[in-house]
Chains A and B, each alone.
Chain A
């Protein structure tokens, strides 16, 4: 179609109506016929090809030719506003189609999301279908604030649906329902993790995606610390491949802090491998002691692993400030936690660890640990055995280790930025930690 023909067409409002209604139908039919569509996109195409729909479906990707946007968007936008102003009545199906079209073109149009909230509340639209639309919109607009905000509303109402009240759970008849709902929430949790990962991959340091991820963990996996551990473990590879994504590391900081402050009771049947070594003797201890035991065994391991990851990445990829910021956070958190632990046992531990590492590199402690493990009959839990079983802290041994790390970095590095970050870290240690 030539541009003059298009212009003539545009001048006729009725014909625009017809064209746009056809496009809206095409979009929604494509989505209905192909539930596997996983991406939307704009196809740069300044002029329409004669009598061909601007909607293109290729390999599960839905494309809209750009020429039709200037007709399509104002039309559907206007229709929805008229509906909102009660100047126009629209049936449920029309509302679903129109809001769907609108949000795929402009997902920050809050009114459209609000209309969909009403449709969900009246039962005309399934929450899962709505979440699917959001996911599609995020493939083109990975930051869209309104999409993430609306998503949390939907999730919140799903949470309320699945866990109405504690009284309900305790009623014997409701037990089976709760199990199915728990599974539903699990699936939804996994879907959200996927949506966040994809959006994070589409835009660097996608704050909105990562904040949403944190919200989901806090609300859908509140007391389930295994999820926190799994996330920490599964995100290792992602952050290793996105070493300047500050938001990704911030997510790790959130997970670490939550686990450190409240590692959860290991008597929970969802305990992970990390906690399983403590399981045996923890089962016999009263709850407060068990929790304290977890603090002493699980938490140091978490710090060690995190600092080791950080060291590894700093050495492999010199010159990324994000990694150094992460190190500061982790070390500060450890420093703070270590002080809080301050008991006679612990201060003795720290002295011993520091002195042993200065002379033998902690080897003597390790040797005795092996001895202890080899004698299964030696079940006596004296203070000595507990301390030695913990072994030397490889990653997190305090300031001496940090100073050594900085010196090594400065000696080895050939990047001026890396040297600058190392020196800044040194300064920070000196001023903030005052030693």
Chain B
């Protein structure tokens, strides 16, 4: 049950812009980590580009599940997990991160910001804390919140237009 990456992006008109990302690649072979990170960065961006405003989706890509939330104001977040990690907790995490991010980082910086210019440091902490879903979130609370029928399930990034 693992989380591998957590990213905040801005969905631009044609492209997604990465604002901040955190990675936990400790479970991968040492020499694979840089290419895995590249894959996750690229996939997160691609998924945001292909998702509509105001949508939540779980996209299966290879052996990973990528959970994405694109807000109406274009602020987006993607968490890449394995297939054991409960998706409900992922969506709670995405909501939380975007809520906090939007309060700490000025809207004006979203379209053009980059990980080096953006001042938001909580992602690493969230990624570490949420590795154990039960410690991170009271499961009962999570189960009450989300209406699961609104989450789109996609079996591959290739099927997203």
Contact = CB atoms under 8 A, between A and B. Distances in A.
Contacts of B139: 315-316
B30 interface: yes
Contact of A242 (B84, B86, B148): B84
Interface in B17-39: 27, 29-32, 35
Interface of B: 1, 27, 29-32, 35, 83-84, 86, 132-134, 139, 143, 148
Contacts of A201: 27
A366 interface: no
A39 B35 CA distance: 18
A44 B134 contact: no
Contacts, number: 38
A410 to B, nearest CB: 15
A291 interface: no
Contacts of A140: 29
Given A316-B134, A414-B143, A61 B84 contact: no
A161 interface: no
Given A241-B132, A242-B84, A414-B143, A39 B29 contact: yes
A41 B134 contact: no
B30 A244 contact: no
Closest 5 CB pairs of A and B: A41-B31, A61-B30, A41-B29, A241-B1, A63-B31
9 contacts: A39-B30, A41-B31, A59-B30, A242-B1, A244-B83, A244-B84, A316-B134, A317-B84, A320-B84
Given A241-B1, A243-B1, A316-B139, A41 B32 contact: yes
B60 to A, nearest CB: 15
A279 B31 CA distance: 53
* Chain B contact surface mostly: helix
* Chain A contact surface mostly: mixed
A58 interface: yes
Contact of A41 (B27, B30, B83, B143): B30
Contacts of A320: 84
A243 B84 contact: yes
A340 B86 CA distance: 40
A65 B83 CA distance: 31
A267 interface: no
B103 to A, nearest CB: 30
Interface string A228-249: 0000000000001111100000
Given A42-B31, A414-B148, 4 more contacts: A39-B30, A240-B134, A243-B1, A316-B139
A350 to B, nearest CB: 33
B86 A317 contact: yes
Nearest to A244: B84
A197 to B, nearest CB: 13
B29 A139 contact: yes
Interface in A19-50: 39, 41-44
Nearest to A44: B35
Contacts of B30: 39, 41, 58-59, 61, 63
A194 to B, nearest CB: 16
Contacts of B29: 39, 41, 139-140
